[in-house]
Structures are given as C-alpha cells and as structure tokens.
Chain A
Amino acid sequence: MSHFEKIKYKLIPVSELLLEMKNLSELMIDLAYSAALFNDRDLAEDVIELEKRVDNLAYQLEMTIMVAARDPKDAEALTGISKVASDADKISDAAADIAAIVMQNIGVHPIVSEIFEKVEERLVKAKVAAASELVGKRLCELDLASQMGMDIIAIRRDKDWIIDIKEGEQIREGDTLIARGTSTGIKEFKELVEGVQLKAEE
C-alpha cells in the first residue's frame, strides 16, 4: 500500500499552485517518455514521485479555490481554473501511466528505442560532482546548447525541483541536472557534470 500524505490547507497563491502543476506535468511527460523509450528506471521513479506531488498540489488548489469563492460570480470565474488544474493533474496521471510501463517491467520493444534514438532527443540525469567545473557557475555563463547541443530543463536540489530555471541560477555541488540532447551530447555532458577528467583518461 502506498502512503498518502495528509493534506492541510496552506495559504499559497492560486497562481503559484497552478504554475507548479503546469510545469511539473509538462516535465513529467518528457521524463516519462524518455523513461519508457529508453527503459530508464531512474527517470521512471522520478515521475512516480512527481505524480504524488502534483496530486498534493491539486488538493491544495481545490481548497484554496473553495476559500476564495464568495459569490456566484467568483464561482464562475474560478471554475475555469479548477478545470485547468484537474486537466494538468490528468496529464500527470498519463505520465505516471507511461512510467508504469518501466516500473512494472513491461518495457517497450527494443527496436522501438533504437528507432527513436534517431528521431528524438532523450533526457539524461547527472549529479554535479565536487570536481566538476560547473560548480558555482551561473546558467547564463554556460553555453551547453551550442557547445554540445544539451539543454538543461530542470534541476533537482535535495527535495526540490527547479523547473522555471532563472538565467542567474547557480549550479551547486550535489545538484542533479536533467538535460535534453542527442546521444553524443549526453556522453560529453555526463563527463562534464560528473567531473570526469577527460585528459586523465586519454
């Protein structure tokens, strides 16, 4: 049995809750497809964890909306938001369904991954090592996109997920970076993030 957290009302602006639901649900789709197509259990586990988070947010948002509605006019205006939030929740459910393909050891036919690798970029996770030259750098100082065709789409810092990454965000040791790119870029990226000395290997 999975554990369900007790939800208590907190004063959080609706816009913040909805934005987080929107961002997380979109990130989850990307993570989930990559997990399923490339049989990546690690990514699938993240999706399952995020799905719980979105569920909690959905409860929070529902409560906040109920508190905010004072008259029929409010109710009409807020229904739209409630609907959008429940749809974002559905999207995150769909992502969890995709992740379940990996978690339940069903898997996707290997030829599919092979073909997919050619047409689509995939996601990769890498943990920033103390020795990495990325430590302390701001995102805007890096030019990973033109250097190796990699795009950082999220940062996991302890329990937090940073999705709306600001240009000035500083990379810290221990951060997990989630990036999108081609298979050649991914290799280079992992080496850079995990602080593997290229020259020492040669």
Chain B
Amino acid sequence: MTQRKQFEEIVERFVELKDTSELMINLAYSALLLNNRDLAEEVQKLEEHVDRLHTDFELLALSSDFKKEEARGFLGLIRLGVAAEKIADAAAEMAEVVLRGIEPHPVLRLTIREAEETVMHAEVTGASPLANKTLKEAQIPEKTGMRVLAIRRGGKCIRPKPESKIEAGDTLIASGYSEGEGDLRRMAAPP
C-alpha cells in the first residue's frame, strides 16, 4: 500500500472519531435538557463505539510504515485521537447525569437551548421526499422547526452535516417544539 493510501485510511478513521465525539456532546446536552433516557443511552452506546474506533485508529497509525523523521507527525496524530476520546468521555459523563435520575435543574434549560421541548425518532421510507436528499436540500428546520441531532443508519450513528445524504431506511433523531413532530413524521413517512 502506498503511504498516501495508508494516510487516507488513518485520516478516515480519525474523522469518524472526531465527528462521533462531537455528535456525542450535542446528544448529551439534548439528553440533559429533555431529561431523556433514550438519548442518554445512545450517548453511552456511542462511547463504546468510540473506544473501539480509537483502538482501531491507534493500531492503524502504529502499524503503518513510517520513517524515523516522521515520528513527530505520527505522535501528533496519536495525540489528536487521545483528545477526541477524552471529549467523548466527557460527553458520556454528562449523559450519565440523566441515567442516574438526577432531575435537570431549570438553569439547564436557560443554558442549553430554549427551542427544545421534545425529541423524536422518525424512520425515512422510500416514498419520503427526504430520501436521497442532502440535509441542506431537505430544509427540515425551515419546514418543520425540527433540528436533526443525528442520523441512525444500520448500527451507525452519523453526525449531521449539510452535505450528509438522507437514505431510505435511515432513522432521524430530531428535537424541537412538539408542534413540529407530526410534520416531520409525515415528511419522513408519507401516509
């Protein structure tokens, strides 16, 4: 394998590690705000996933053939991974507050986001206008007032980016005011 290819693979793992840890922070804050156990459990599951990802990433980085003078550059990479893992840990600890049944203090609502009342899961069917659109094209916040927190695809949880494509069979995890819930549900699975 060329060095470039090896690097591409390592970077790909790292991007997933970074994205997942940041997704976890968002989900953890929402879990706290809504006192939602499902979301908090999702964060815990992601934490286990991050642990596996991190190990894979480190093994991949350490097993690639690099020259002595490249050691610093590899150390930098390894440290980036460690930091991403630390971020994921912090998110998991936040979610733990919910799982321990500590009632959310009203201050949290003031702090986090006022526009969140509810969290929902909606499966996207093949007939949905959302299928095969990117999040940017789908305009979910504009049309329903709901904010997509994560996209669940198979066993994976994807951090939503404007260019992320929605596929039939995906489950959207979204939050917002309760009025938007029905709208998004109808959009995801038209009757």
Contact = CB atoms under 8 A, between A and B. Distances in A.
Interface in B65-114: 70, 72-77, 79-80, 82-84, 86-87, 89-91, 93-94, 96-97, 102-105, 107-108, 110-112
A138 interface: no
A182 to B, nearest CB: 12
Main secondary structure of the interface of A (DSSP, over half): helix
A-side interface size class: 35 or more
Contacts of B75: 106
Contacts of A101: 76, 79-80
B8 interface: yes
A1 interface: no
B15 A119 contact: yes
A83 B80 contact: no
B72 A80 contact: no
A80 B32 contact: yes
Given A83-B94, A108-B73, A29 B8 contact: no
A63 to B, nearest CB: 15
Contacts of B103: 76-77, 80
The list of the 10 closest CB pairs from A to B, nearest first, reads A109-B73, A108-B76, A15-B110, A90-B90, A94-B86, A87-B90, A80-B102, A94-B83, A111-B7, A19-B111
B82 A97 contact: yes
Contacts of A29: 22, 87
Nearest to A120: B15
A61 to B, nearest CB: 10
A179 B162 CA distance: 17
A84 B75 CA distance: 31
Nearest to A79: B102
A112 B83 contact: no
Contact of A78 (B8, B80, B105): B105
16 contacts: A14-B107, A15-B110, A15-B111, A33-B18, A77-B105, A83-B93, A87-B90, A91-B86, A93-B86, A94-B86, A97-B79, A106-B72, A109-B73, A109-B77, A112-B10, A116-B15
A50 interface: no
Nearest to B26: A26
Given A78-B105, A112-B73, 20 more contacts: A18-B111, A19-B111, A22-B111, A32-B83, A36-B76, A76-B103, A80-B105, A81-B105, A88-B90, A90-B86, A90-B90, A91-B86, A94-B83, A94-B87, A98-B79, A98-B83, A101-B79, A108-B73, A108-B80, A115-B11
Contacts, number: 117
Nearest to A93: B86
Contact of B8 (A81, A95, A115, A120): A115
B70 A109 contact: yes
A36 B10 CA distance: 16
Chain B interface: which size bin? 35 or more
Interface of B: 3-4, 7-8, 10-11, 14-15, 18, 22, 25, 28-29, 32, 70, 72-77, 79-80, 82-84, 86-87, 89-91, 93-94, 96-97, 102-105, 107-108, 110-112
Interface in A16-67: 18-19, 22, 26, 29, 32-33, 36
Nearest to A39: B76
B3 A111 contact: yes
A100 to B, nearest CB: 8
Given A76-B103, A81-B107, A112 B7 contact: yes
Most chain A C-beta atoms within 10 Å of own C-beta, residue among B10, B74, B76: B76
A170 B107 CA distance: 29
A110 interface: yes
A174 interface: no
